[in-house]
Amino acid sequence: MNKKFAFTLSEVLVTMSIIGVISALTVPTLVNSYQRKAQALQLRKTVSDIENAVDMLITEEGKTKFSATSYYNNLDGFITNRLKTIKTCTKDKTNECFANENYNTINGEAGSAFTCEGNSYVLANSAAICMYKKVGLYNGNPVVVVDTNGQEGPNIGGRDIFTFTILPNGEIYGTGHESDCSRDPFGDGCYDLLVTENNWKMNY
Residue 33 is predicted with a pLDDT of: 76
Region 1-12: what's the mean pLDDT?
60
pLDDT in tens, 51-77: 999 999 999 999 999 999 999 999 999
Q: Coil, strand or helix: which one is 63?
A: coil
Q: Which tens digits make up the pLDDT trace of 133-163?
A: 988 888 899 999 999 999 999 999 999 999 9
Its pTM stands at 0.84
8 Å CB contact between 155 and 146: no
Residue 178 to residues 106, 112, 200: CA-CA distances in angstroms?
13, 21, 14
